[in-house]
Amino acid sequence: MELSLATHAVGEHTVLSVGGEVDVYTAPRLRERLIELIDGGAHHVVVDLGRVDFLDSTGLGVLVGALKRLRSAGGSFALVCDKEPLLKIFRITALDQVFPLHPTVDAAIAADSAGA
Amino acid sequence: MELSLATHAVGEHTVLSVGGEVDVYTAPRLRERLIELIDGGAHHVVVDLGRVDFLDSTGLGVLVGALKRLRSAGGSFALVCDKEPLLKIFRITALDQVFPLHPTVDAAIAADSAGA
Amino acid sequence: MATVKLSFSPAPVHVRTARLVGVAVARRAGVREDLLDEVRLAIGEACTRAVALHRQYGLAEPVYVEMSDGGSYTVRVVDRAPIEAGLGLAALGPDELAKESLSEDALTTGVGFALLAGFVEDLQVRPVDEGVGTEVRMAWPAGRA
Amino acid sequence: MATVKLSFSPAPVHVRTARLVGVAVARRAGVREDLLDEVRLAIGEACTRAVALHRQYGLAEPVYVEMSDGGSYTVRVVDRAPIEAGLGLAALGPDELAKESLSEDALTTGVGFALLAGFVEDLQVRPVDEGVGTEVRMAWPAGRA
Ligand SMILES: Nc1ncnc2c1ncn2[C@@H]1O[C@H](COP(=O)(O)OP(=O)(O)O)[C@@H](O)[C@H]1O
Ligand SMILES: Nc1ncnc2c1ncn2[C@@H]1O[C@H](COP(=O)(O)OP(=O)(O)O)[C@@H](O)[C@H]1O
């Protein structure tokens, strides 16, 4: 239910695992953490939404913010998501055409490394 | 969460296991089931509150109703409860002095059989 | 001071909604976790009482619940029934509770008040300021340390 | 027709309360289980939008939510902001969404409307009947078969 945030490194990539509800109340904490990571030097960020129960427009806004920040700094940003209800949210908002979306962390890192 | 009711017989005794929330909304179903059992010939009834998450005054009223019904018919009625929050409800209402309360179904049946 | 107001048609099913909201707001107001069971029970009892009164008097008007968070967590449950309620009700003793002549409704009402009085340290029951009805007001310590 | 009304100070934390209540009442109204995720999301988006507007305009007044259950399950979310809102907003395409110049707030608003429009088949956004503000009205089929 509550937002959970955990980071680990996989080679060049920083993986942020998000759990719980990402909404207008908790999204500021996600934004803060992403900015911290990026300001702290993370250049290739993968956000794993695997344990997210709820995601709203505020959460999506924060994710797009991080994508733009990294792209303009020459970095990369990708999302991991394989739950149909969440994928539907990305399709309905056309954000599936904005984010690189992958079913697993490994796939996200492989695709990002190949593209880099 | 939802009320669950399951009956089984142990010798002379009928054990009704109750789970979920027993409140103003669900108590009528508990009342109905108890009346059914008693009208159907159950004379020694043990209600196991082990899986009850919530119990309010309406639920307590139904239990007292069953107790009175059985006593006046020469039967017996006992409760099984070992959770402190529920026990506190019985103490605060003085109903711990009205109901035979036991920590286990076995204890309830043993005490009732000895008393009978 | 954050406030959440809820009103609902006097039906038993909505008492669960009121409990849900009351506990969610209490948690967010910083009421201690170990008090939340009491909050749930007390709000449930106050709303159950209000719903029972509205049904008894055939009132379709909603039951009103107000939760506010200013220093303490305060919940007001307001009914519109034309009775003079108070905390005067003596608690029923075990002998009275077990009496055949006490109806289930009367027992439930008495037990409901015993639960309110037993679980809520800061409890008031008084007529509403305007019009007809009774307000049950409960407060718990709140505020994140 | 059962009705539950909720009003809350315009703070993000209470949007969760509104979602909780909205889904609980929907379930009790007999809305199909597989629609409840959409109900949760849509009520959340409508309330998030209302809270954002109240904060933007410095309004301390509560956001108001009304849930009613008469044939269909209808939810009205009412804000008091002095703007002319409508469903006119064109959905943002992927190119616009990815543009540097689009602020996070503007993007969130656009995405919020896209979610409302995408998930709620029966949606109306219109000025309130009296005074200032906008009403977002959503309906879902209900009623236990
Ligand atoms: N959300 C609501 N739902 C139902 N009734 C309400 C609501 N808000 C206010 N009322 C009614 O209006 C009365 C006065 O409301 P208000 O001015 O908010 O409170 P107060 O009693 O503190 O003056 C309440 O006691 C209640 O009966
Ligand atoms: N529970 C409530 N909390 C806050 N405001 C309320 C409440 N009940 C009513 N109101 C306010 O009063 C207005 C009119 O309420 P009401 O007469 O119940 O609805 P309607 O808009 O259908 O006439 C609402 O739009 C709302 O702003």
Specify the pLDDT at position C144. 60
More confident of the two residues A47 and C90: A47
pLDDT at D45 over 70: yes
pLDDT at residue D71 in the model: 84
CB contact under 8 A, C52 and B54: no
pLDDT digits 0-9 by tens, C61-87: 999 999 998 889 999 999 999 887 665
CB contact under 8 A, C4 and D20: no
Q: What percent of chain B has pLDDT over 70?
A: 97
More confident residue, D82 or B45: B45
> Rounded mean pLDDT of chain C?
90
Looking at A37-41, A63-67, D101-105, which range is the least confident one? D101-105
What is the predicted pLDDT for the residue at B1?
64
The conformational region for residue D54 under phi > 0 = left, psi -120 to 50 = alpha, else beta, is alpha
Residue (of B91, B19, B15) closest to B55 by Cα position? B19
Per-residue model confidence as pLDDT tens digits over A44-83 = 999 999 999 999 999 999 999 999 999 999 999 999 999 9
> Structure pTM?
0.86
Residue nearest to atom 11 of ligand 1 (CA): C64
3-class state of residue D75 by DSSP: strand
- Cβ neighbourhood burial of C36 (10 Å; 0-12, 13-18, 19+): middle
Q: What integer pLDDT is reported at residue C89 of this predicted model?
A: 60
Nearest to C14 by CA among C61, C48, C41, C42: C48
CB C141 less than 6 A from any atom of ligand 1: no
* Residue of D27, D60, D45 lying closest to D109 (CA atoms): D45
Chains touching chain A through at least 3 C-beta pairs below 8 angstroms are: D
Mean pLDDT computed over every residue of chain B: 95
pLDDT for the residue numbered C86 = 60
- Region A26-32: mean pLDDT is 97
Residue in chain B closest to C120 (alpha carbons) equals B92
Q: Residue ranges of the alpha helices (H) in C36-103?
A: 36-56, 94-98
Write the ipTM.
0.82
Query: Which uninterrupted H or E stretch holds C12?
Result: helix C12-29
CATH for D28 = 3.30.565.10
Provide the pLDDT for residue D145: 45
From residue A65, alpha-carbon distances to A58, A87, A89, D102, D107 in Å are: 11, 19, 17, 10, 9
**Contact between residue C10 and residue D67 where contact means Cβ atoms under 8 Å apart:** no
The confidence band for D85, taking pLDDT boundaries of 50, 70 and 90, is low
pLDDT computed for residue D135 by the predictor: 95
Range of the domain at D62: 3-141
- Length, in residues, of chain D: 145
Give the whole-angstrom CA distance, residue B108 versus residue B114.
Answer: 10
Give me the percent of chain B exceeding a pLDDT of 90: 94
Count of domains for chain D: 1
| pLDDT recorded at residue C101 | 87
pLDDT for A68: 96
Query: What pLDDT is attached to residue D84?
Result: 72
Separation between Cα atoms, residue D35 and residue A109, nearest integer Å? 34
Least confident of B18-27, C4-13, C95-104, D89-98: D89-98
**What are the chain C neighbours of D13 within 8 Å (beta carbons)?**
2, 28
- Ligand 2 pocket (Cβ < 6 Å) reads C 5, 7; D 5, 7, 62, 64, 78
pLDDT for residue C145 is more than 60: no
Per-residue pLDDT tens for C21-58?
A: 999 999 989 999 999 999 999 999 999 999 999 999 99
Average pLDDT of chain D is: 90
Which chain D residues touch A if contact means CB-CB below 8 Å?
12-13, 15-16, 37, 40-41, 44-45, 48, 51-52, 91-94, 97-98, 100, 104-105, 107-109, 111-112, 114-115, 118-119
Contact D29, D138 (CB under 8 A): no
